[in-house]
Amino acid sequence: MTFRGVPFARPPLGELRFRPPLPPEPWQGVRPANRFASAAPQSMPLPIVALQMIAVGRSAQSEDCLYLNVWTPATDGRRRPVLVWLHGGAFVMGSGSTNLYSGERLARRGDVVVVTLNYRLGALGYLNLKTLIDGQDVPSNLGLLDQIAALEWVRDNIEAFGGDPENVTIFGESAGAMSVGTLLGTPRARGLFRRAIAQSGAADNVSSAEEASEVAELFLRELGPSARDLTALRAAPLRDILEAQRAIMVPLLRGRQLVLQPSIDGETLPDAPLRAIEAGLSQSVSLLLGTNQDEFKLFTLGDRKALRIEEETLRRRLAAVLPGKDFDGTPLAELALELYGSDNPRIGHRSPGERWIAFQSDRIFHWPATRLAERHARSGGRSYTYLFTWTPPLLADRLGACHGLEVPFVFGTLRDPFLRATLGIMKGARDLSDRMQEAWLAFARNGDPGHAGLPDWPRFDAERHSTMVLGTHCKTEAWRFQDAARFWDRCEAADGEAPPRSLARSSGATA
């Protein structure tokens, strides 16, 4: 059974724009739930949208977007495990109703309830205007609050859909996984879920109050003088808001990973999520997290020169990302050039472009995942990790096991026509998909992803890293990125001794 377009909050329109979500208005009689609701408004300047995996047409967008979808085997009161999906899209695009996120197969296979949802994106969801709108209380982290409101709806209503409100697992990929990591460190979300799965995202993508204020200042400047009045801001045409968002994103993306994302605000997020997790806020939550071997290859599809760069170009890119020095005065970029050299056994004798991809994959994905697993384990939490290594028959060299490739394996949506045409999916992929679905379902049921179709999946140990490799042949092995994690820990420690870098000069993911 499928229920589409179920409201979990009131439409954030008019006076409710830039306000926290409110409970939906009650209705009389039976409300139809047979059509997906509109996605959140989104501006998409990134080249990865060409993949059409998470893109949403403009005609299917509206500020009236706070709805969720439920797939359930039956509404019989059996209290099944519940999996709540948080979609990705860099916090500026995506939707819970994308074809790849259909919960039908997962719900049927595991006798579970699957929920997908929309949340506010971009400027409407993640501007932090606290210090910029004089004399008016303007909340921040609205997209994060939308996610919490949806989880509260699940707690209060999912039993009527055959789900168990006391056995909820949140899972997400990319910005959805970053949301999972952030929720693990959000006091207000405590108790709303028992387990969490983070696919290619961790708890690092949170702006400081100063960074968020700088982004908001640039946005208001782009929108115009009247934008500093909250009444005018709520009345501004949606088109103008999206155009201002696009205008600030393009230049800022040259200098950082994400522009609009959760931020520390002293209220919803009183501290950095990693610190809260390390202090034990989510100690009782079981965590499954992992990354894909060649994460950054996806982002080079829009950069034809990425794989053909020369050694000197690689050196310049590393210096732009790591302008600081180690404690002994050695430039961090030189240390990176040594670690990511062609004689590194993990990287192999690769071109400068491929070494750049390995560097970026470690920096943006592998290292943050390692840190989250370590912090959670050291707080006493139960963690399991994976590395996805499957590569498609078509575009194997160009894509590898790139960012987002594991999503249709989890949902069992490999038959999607776009995927079949571009990747050449074959039977071996369906076998891996079966194993991964069983692992995700086992984790949702009892907090342990091990099952009969996989070898022993050890619990993550902060001192003895080991992980499950999910590929053509699944196996347990030592975590491959420990050398990179030590390097990036060292860089962070060295950078902590230096003054903060402005957004315009900070490190970038899309260089």
Q: Which residues are catalytic?
A: 174, 295, 403
What amino acid occupies position 446?
N
**Tokens matching residue 89:** 């899209």
Q: Looking at beta carbons, which pairs linking 428-431 to residues 24 or more positions away fall under 8 Å?
A: 428/472, 429/390, 429/392
C-alpha to C-alpha distance for 17 and 231, rounded to whole angstroms: 10
Residue given tokens 């969720």 in the structure block = 68
484 close to 387: Cβ distance less than 8 angstroms: no
Chain-centre distance for alpha carbon 109: 25
**3-class secondary-structure state, position 491:** helix
Q: Give φ, ψ of 103 to 5 degrees.
A: -90, 5
C-alpha to C-alpha distance for 38 and 58, rounded to whole angstroms: 10
Contacts of 493 (CB under 8 A, 6+ apart): 327
**Tokens matching residue 261:** 């994302």
Cβ-count burial of 3 within 10 angstroms (0-12 exposed, 13-18 middle, 19+ buried)? middle
392 close to 399: Cβ distance less than 8 angstroms: yes
Residues in the chain: 511
Query: H or E stretch including 388?
Result: strand 383-388
C-alpha to C-alpha distance for 299 and 301, rounded to whole angstroms: 5
C-alpha to C-alpha distance for 356 and 340, rounded to whole angstroms: 8
Question: Does the CA dihedral 505-506-507-511 come out positive or negative?
Answer: negative
